[in-house]
Amino acid sequence: VYYINFTDFASYEVVVDEKPFLQCTRSIETGKTNYNTCYTAGVCLLKARQKIAVKMVHADISINMSKHTTFFGAIRLGEAPAS
């Protein structure tokens, strides 16, 4: 996520079925530029019809959504083990 406007902190969560799975939080020093990035990566066993979402923790944050700045990717690593 490429933040373009925040004051002290910027944070987002990656949620699976609305439950937090990953989180990234950035802070900024007083007097510094308010542009910053935050990156997360993880592996999670997903079941059919589960939903993945990116949730901004602070409502007053602006992010750049152009294709060269903010992205979300997912890959399938293999079949889930039989239960």
- Please give the Cα distance from 40 to 53 (Å, whole number): 13
DSSP 31: T
Q: Is 25 helix (H, G, I), strand (E, B) or coil?
A: strand
Per-residue pLDDT tens over the stretch 16-36: 999 999 999 887 766 666 677
> Is 2.60.120.40 the CATH number for 2-64?
yes
Per-residue pLDDT tens over the stretch 27-83: 776 666 667 788 899 999 998 899 999 998 877 777 888 888 888 889 989 887 777
The pTM of the full predicted model, rounded to 2 decimals, is 0.76
Report strand pairing: 36-37 vs 2-5. antiparallel
